[in-house]
Structure 1
Amino acid sequence: MMATRPYLCLFWKRTRILTMRLVLEERKFLSKWSPPRYLWRGLSVFVLAGQVIIRSLMGKVHWRNTLQQLERVGPRSVGVCLLTSAFVGMAFTIQFVREFTRLGLNRSIGGVLALAFSRELSPVVTSIVVAGRIGSAFAAELGTMQVSEQIDTLRVLGADPVDYLVIPRVIASCLALPFLTLMCFTVGMASSGLLADSVYGISLNIILDSAQRALNSWDLISAMIKSGVFGAIISIVSCAWGVTTMGGAKGVGESTTSAVVISLVGIFIADFVLSYCFFQGAGDSLKNCV
């Protein structure tokens, strides 16, 4: 028994040394480990959204910056949005008008166009254009300010970057997108009706009458709600990606590209959720225009 004690003491010493080494290695690993970038960037979107909501309710809004961003998001985006909507409408018309005329459903064409544009095409197409044009600009601007330490300078001067940079962009996007959507809806319907009248011989009066019978106020209201949500997604994601930029000019380029891609994914997911909530029980709209 006495002979085994030295071996037991040696065993316990080695075990203790090994345990201490494992603890030290674990501490080194934890000190060097950081969560994946996509994880903390995704969390930053929700944190930034919460800050925007809370500080907006507190009245921390720079209205001058908001008006400048509103002019940028709204009037300066009208041309490209309307042009895109016109050609999307004409392409959509080409796809189904000929089939409807062969089936003798001429009086349903206007209703189908109106419902398709109001419920899906106008808000989604407008948001895609704005995400490519405005979302990329937001991410690039804030990313450049982040890597050049301009955002830190704002903090030193006592200005909150969320109040001064983020909230004006979010408010401008949420206000401008619904009106852009309504204009795109009008232009898309007009281009589709003119194409159907001039190429396929379907009277414009028939198309307008069918659209009026199928469309109701909720269809337009839902389009404005959708586009407002899409505007919030575009602006918050782009700003979050901008203020978390690292790595100089290369990081700015990566943040810009990633912000647009994530914004588009968020738009499509939100579109499905909102469409499911708004139109799950809808199905009688076309009966009025048959």
Structure 2
Amino acid sequence: MELRNIKTFVYAAETGSFTEAAQRQNYAQSTVTQQIRLLEEELGTELFIRMGRRVALSSAGRAFLWHANRMIALEQETLAQFRGSAEPEGIFFIGVIETIATSHYMNSIGAFLQRYPHVRLQVHVSTAPQLRQELLRGGIDMAILLDRFSEIPNIRLLYHAPSPIQFIAAPGNSFAHRPVRLEELTKTAWILTERGTNYRKQLEDDLAARRLFLYDRLEIGTSKTIIDFVAAGLGISILPAVTVANAICDHRVVPLHVVDYEMNMELQILAVKDRWLPQPLMLLAEMVAAAFAEKG
């Protein structure tokens, strides 16, 4: 299996065209067609669905794309090491939970890409349990998430630090700007993440231990929309402090002072034990950790 054929496959997957893949590499289109055919013969399956002048990845092609990108990244990493290049490069896969994806930590990823322009990142957004599964399966190289701390077999903890979960309300809410007790909050309208989110589950478990329940609930899938609904006065919510920091700074929502309850999760940066982690991802982990240490 030749690496040049694999690179051609990736270009064709990105452009959806054998013609454009040929133009990127200054090849004749017949060369690209032959390279893809050789790959398909080696793998014993069709990688593309041909649709006239356009092509789309088949299910096998989508599965092979991750392996193709990893092989290209490994080549780039190897060349950089043995040629003495100090400039990181390659294609890497990271996973983040949705509340991290909408927080200021994404600025760290932007700063990383500006600093290392030859690195490409593919970011997968999912829940903490699903990201751990993807990590162990090899679908992503590194995961950044918020969850309760626990030792998990075969997962390596690169960094962790406490990260508070914040109750929020609209500035005009009756609970704003005064101390409140948790039981008082159960009697009002709530805007919640979908069932199963780790901090929602923690809250409901802790309420159940006190024989308390949330009676008026609206479930929304994204934290940005939850903040918008809370700011509009439709209810209160609970979200990671890093996710609501900008909305609080802009006075769209206010933090609630709950005198008899608090919750903390852990910001965690995870990789797989005994699996080689490329240098660029170690640099990215350091930048995210530094941003957390600075801003919390």
TM > 0.5 fold call: no
| TM-score (ref. length: structure 2) | 0.22
- Larger RCO (CA within 8 A; separation ≥ 6): 1
Greater fraction of residues in strand: 2
Larger radius of gyration: 1
| TM-score (ref. length: structure 1) | 0.23
